[in-house]
Structure 1
Amino acid sequence: MATAKTAFSTPLNEKDPYIYQVGFGNGFASEAIPGTLPVGQNSPQKNKYGLYAEGINGTSFVAPRAENQRTWFYRMRPSVSHNGFQDAPPNPFLESNFSTLNPKIHISATQQAWNPIDIPAEKTDFVQGLRTVAGNGDPMAREGLAIHVYLANESMSKKAFVNSDGDMLILPQQGRLDIQTELGKLMVRPGELVVIQKGLKFKVTLPDGPSRGYIQEIYGSRYELPELGPLGANGLANVRDFEHPVASFDVDQSDWEIVYK
C-alpha cells in the first residue's frame, strides 16, 4: 500500500532533503519505526522497544480541549537521565529581563537602526552567537518579547539548546540552518522562518558555513495566524504553508551538553 504525500510540502531536493507534515495548529502523529505508536491507549504503561512516555505541556494541564497544546513523546531515554546542572559561561550579549530596574537596559525615545553585526572570527556556535537587540517584559512574568540576532560559524556537535523562557521564531538571513529537534529534522533556508517551541531541545548545524539571522522570542503566548478579514479568504499565510518534521532518531550513547536558557 502506498501513502499519499501532500503536494503542498517542500519537494525533496539537495537544499532540503527532509520530509514534512503540513498544517498550522494541527494534531500530528509520526513514528520513525512503523508500528511503534500504541493503538487505542492514551497513556500506556508499557511501550514497544522499552520506550519511555513523556509529555511537554504547552498550555495548562487542565486547559479546555480547543485550547490545549501538548506534545507527547516516546523516548529511548527519559529527560531526567542527566548528570546534574551547573552554570554555563555567561553570554554578556544576551538579555531577557527588560525591566527598568535592570541596569543593563537602556530606553530610547528616538528611532534607532543597526548595521549588520559581523560574524565573529573565533569559533562561535548558534548558542554562543546569540545577541539581544531590544525587548520588553520579563519571562518570569510570562509577558513580553525579545528581539535577538544570531551569528554562527561553527556547527553544534554533541550539544543541544533548550529555551525555557519562550517560543523562538528564527529567520536566517545568510546560510541554511539544519535543525535537529526532538520531533525530527528541519532545513531552514534564508527567506524561510522556523518556530521552536518553549521546552524543546534542538541542535543547529551549518551546511553552508557561517550563518546570520534574526530571532523573535515571545514570553507567555503562542504564535497564531492573523485573521483574514478584509483581505478575503486567500490573503496572508495559509495553514498549508507551515511544515512540521516527521519522527527520526539517532542511537548515540556518548555524553552530550544540554544548555538551558
Structure 2
Amino acid sequence: MTKPIDICYSHGFNNEHESEALSGALPIGQFNPQKCAYGLYAEQFSSTAFTAPRHENRRTWMYRIRPSISMGDYSAIDKGLLRTAPLSGKPCPPNVMRWNAQPIADTPTDFIDGLITVAANGDAKTQIGIGIHLYSANKDMGNRYFCNADGELLFVPQQGELIARTELGLLHVKPGEIMVIPRGIKFQIEPTNEPIRGYLCENYGAPFTLPERGPVGANGFANQRDFYYPTAWFEDKEQASGLVTKFCGELYQAELDHSPFDVVAWVGNSAPYKYDLSRFNVINAVSFDHPDPSIFTVLTSPSETQGTANMDFVIFPPRWMVAENTFRPPWYHRNVMSEFMGLVHGVYDAKEKGFEPGGMSLHNCMTPHGPEAEVFEKASSAELTPQKYENTLAFMFESRYVIAPTEYALNSTTRQKDYLGCWGNLKKHFDGKA
C-alpha cells in the first residue's frame, strides 16, 4: 500500500480534455500523424458508436508506447462471486429486502478477488440494465490489471481511501466522493493505508451523463466544473503482467510483457473522472410536501424512453428541511422504478434503525415501502421547525428494470430476515371523523 498522492486534474464533464506527460507528445491539428512524437503509437478509444450524435459521442485518442493489441491470447479464469445479467437461477421475489454490511476478508484479497455481485437487471450483451456489486480489498493488485468490456463502472466508496491507476492517469478517491471508469479502460485499484469497501454499479447501458435541470434553470444539482479528470501519467515497465477482462459475464486473463499504463498523452472526452458529492447543490421544498427523489439525481444513464432512466444515481446528502404542514420523511409509495439503496455514513431519515453504513436495501417495482413505524409516529407529531440533516450520506441506484438479487444475496448471512418487522407496529389511526 502507498500513501495518498497529490494529483493535478483537468476540469469538466463530457468535454474535450487533453493532457501530456511529456512536452510535445500530443499532435497539433490532427490526431493520427504519419509518425508520432517520441516514437509513440496513436490509438483511438471509443466508448460510443462512431456515428453517435456529437453531443453524445465519446472517444479519446491515446499516444502510447505500445498499442493495446501487444498482448497474449485470453484464457478463461474463475470469476468467483461475480455475476452478470441476465441472472439465472432462483426467481426474483417481490419482497422488501435489506442486508447488513459485508465484512472485509481476513485473508489477503485484491480488488478483483473481492468483487461480489448482489443484484442485476437487463442484459449485458444487449447493453441494457445494470449490475450491482460490492467491492472490498486489503491489498493492491500487484501486476494484475482489470478491464471491463461489459459496462462502465460507478464506484461509491464507503470505507477507506483508494488510488485508481488508469491508462489515462491517477485518481485518489475517498468516501463522500464517486468515481466513474468508462467501459474498456484498464485500471488498478490500490488501498492507501487501510482496507477498502464500497458499492459498484456496472452500467451496461448508455454512459452516465448529467440530468437535465428543466424548470430549475441554469444552476443547481451537479456542475460540470466540479468533475475532475486525471492528467497523463505513464509507466515504461517491461514486466510479466496479467490483464483480466470481464467480457459477456465471464473473466478472461491475457499475459503481457509490460505495464499497460503506457499512455504518454491523450485527448478526448471518454476518460475516468471523480466527483465530490459535497459539491452537489441540493434543491428542496421550501413550502410544503416532500418532493420526488429525482431532484437529488447526480448522474443518469438514459434509456430509449425519455424521462425513464436505465439507471439514475441519486443521493440523500446533508440538507435543510423546512417544509410546513408536511410529513417530512419520504412518503409511503409504490412505483414503477426499482430502488437499490446504500448508506455511506450516518443515518438515513426514513430508516433510523437497522440500516447501517455499508448495508443495503432493495425495493423492487410496485413493492410498497416507506418510513418505518417509529419514524412515522415521530414525524407525524414533530414540531416543524427548520431542521438540518447533518453527517449523513445515503444513495440510490434507481432503474426502470426490475433488480433481481443474486442467489448469493438471497442466502447471505448478512440478509436481515426480519426487515419487514420495522413496519410491524404501524397502527390504525382511522376514526371515521372529518
What is the TM-score of this pair, normalised by structure 2?
0.55
Bigger strand fraction: 2
Give distance in 2, aligned partners of 1:66 and 1:225: 12
Measured against aligned partners, the alpha-carbon deviations of 1:81-118 in whole angstroms (never above 9, x if no partner) come to 11221111231x1111235xx12x54120110110000
Aligned with 2:154: secondary structure? strand
1:216 positional shift: 0.9
Determine the structure 2 residue equivalent to 1:97. Answer: 85
- C-alpha distance after superposition, 1:123-177 (max 9, x if no partner): 1111111111111011101100111110111111111100000010001111111
* Residue-pair matches, total: 244
Opposite residue 28 of structure 1, the aligned amino acid is: H
1:158 match = 143
Larger radius of gyration: 2
Higher helix share: 2
Among 111, 119, 124, which residue is 2:109 paired with?
124
Alignment partners' CA distance in 1, 2:165 and 2:218: 34
Q: Secondary structure at the match of 1:30?
A: strand
Partner residue of 1:36?
25
The CA distance in 2 between the partners of 1:42 and 1:94, in whole Å, is 38
Name the residue aligned to 1:253: 238
Per mean C-alpha deviation after superposition, the further-off stretch among 41-50 and 144-153 is 41-50
Tell me the residue number matched to 2:54. 65
> Offset at 1:38?
1.0
Aligned 8 A contact 2:11 2:227 in 1: yes
C-alpha offsets along residues 173-222 of structure 1, whole Å, 9 cap, x if unaligned? 11111011001000001110000000000011111221000011111311
- Give distance in 1, aligned partners of 2:6 and 2:91: 44
Superposition map of 1:38-187 within 5 A? 38-91=27-80, 93-99=81-87, 102-103=88-89, 105-187=90-172
Is the 2:85–2:130 contact (alpha carbons within 8 Å) kept by the matching residues of 1? no
Cα distance between partner residues in 2 of 1:111 and 1:199: 34
Contact 2:120/2:132, CA 8 A, preserved across alignment: yes
Question: Which residue identity lines up with residue 145 of structure 2 in the other structure?
Answer: A
Aligned equivalent of 2:15: 26
Shift of 1:234: 2.5
Comparing 209-218 with 35-44, which one deviates more in the overlay?
35-44
- Aligned pair in 2 of structure 1 residues 234, 148: CA closer, same or farther (>3 Å)? same
Q: CA RMSD in A?
A: 1.4
TM-score (norm 1): 0.90
- C-alpha contact 2:123 2:129 (8 A) present in aligned 1: yes
Query: Contact between 2:4 and 2:163, CA under 8 Å: does it hold in 1?
Result: no
Alignment of 1:215-230 (within 5 A): 215-230=200-215
Q: What SS class does the counterpart of residue 108 from structure 1 fall into?
A: coil
Matched residues in 1 for 2:209 and 2:30: separation?
30
CA deviation string 1:233-257 (max 9, x = no partner): 3221111110000101112111111
Range with greater deviation from structure 2 (228-237 or 118-127):
228-237
Question: Is this contact kept in 1: 2:44–2:59, CA < 8 A?
Answer: yes
Query: Quick check: 2:86–2:124 contact (8 Å CA) kept in 1?
Result: no
CA–CA distance in 1 between the matches of 2:224 and 2:55?
17
Tell me how far apart the structure 2 counterparts of residues 196 and 60 of structure 1 sit (CA, whole Å). 18
1:16 Cα deviation from its structure 2 partner:
4.9
Structure 2: give runs of 5+ residues left out of the alignment: 247-434
Residue 193 of structure 1 aligns to a residue whose secondary structure is: strand
Q: Which moved more, 1:234-243 or 1:63-72?
A: 63-72
Which residue number corresponds to residue 198 of structure 2? 213
SS where residue 53 of structure 1 aligns?
strand
Residues 106 and 208 of structure 1, relative CA distance in 2, 3 Å threshold: farther
Structure 1: how far apart are the matches of 2:230 and 2:113? 25
Rounded to whole Å, the distance in 1 between the matches of 2:114 and 2:77 is 14
Question: 2:197 is matched by which residue type in structure 1?
Answer: R
Q: Judge which range, 221-230 or 72-81, deviates more.
A: 221-230
Q: What residue identity is the alignment partner of 2:161?
A: R
